[in-house]
A and B are shown apart, each in its own frame.
Chain A
């Protein structure tokens, strides 16, 4: 199974500051046939379903604010919030869909400092 190592477990950031969440996979998620990374990012707010934020590592889902960005390739990926807002408080998960079983990182809890 592909292991997804996400860090940090929690993150406290002041409003307007930058937040960075890292995700490392135990196997490359890059498909050389199409040059796509099979990596998704989700936001989950309390008592809500996860919401897809990025797929192919860096393709932003419709409606996701552009202060959010996804980057990386191969085994190392990053979710960045350029200027954290109060409504960004949530858990964030990375997920690989390169191969089954699809696996998630343990999640990062983002809080406001």
Chain B
């Protein structure tokens, strides 16, 4: 089955860090770029960032709202991608989704709540 599964969400205080994981299966994970998106409670979808496949240099791009605080990485040998979130703010509270195989495969998301 083609799928991605996010994990690592939880409650964290402002200013702290959290690392989310995105575990993929059922497709050639290494061949594709990987996107992270988020959705604040009751709000629309927001793109967070993108990491290209290693074959296309593995470079990353980020939304301005997270640039310098969030970092995407990937471990193709284990079919996992990560979203390292530092300096978390209250406005980062959202369900975070990873999407693989371009935008075809989405996980169920993991909730990150930033609150004191």
Contacts and interface: CB of A to CB of B under 8 A. Distances in A.
B63 interface: yes
A33 to B, nearest CB: 17
Contacts of A107: 44-45
A93 B39 CA distance: 12
Contacts, number: 47
B106 A51 contact: yes
A60 interface: no
B75 interface: no
Interface in A25-84: 40, 42, 44, 48-52, 55, 61
B107 interface: yes
B24 to A, nearest CB: 14
Contacts of B107: 49
Interface residues of B, number: 18
Interface stretch (B9-17, B76-84, B96-104): B96-104
A79 to B, nearest CB: 15
Contact of B50 (A48, A102, A103, A106): A102
Contact of B45 (A50, A55, A101): A50
Interface string B30-72: 0000010100000011110010000000000101100000000
B45 A104 contact: yes
Given A93-B45, A107-B44, A49 B64 contact: no
B47 A104 contact: yes
Contact of A50 (B63, B64, B106): B106
12 contacts: A42-B45, A49-B107, A50-B106, A93-B44, A93-B45, A95-B45, A100-B61, A101-B47, A101-B63, A104-B45, A104-B46, A107-B45
Interface of B: 35, 37, 44-47, 50, 61, 63-64, 97, 102-104, 106-109
Interface of A: 40, 42, 44, 48-52, 55, 61, 93, 95, 97, 100-107
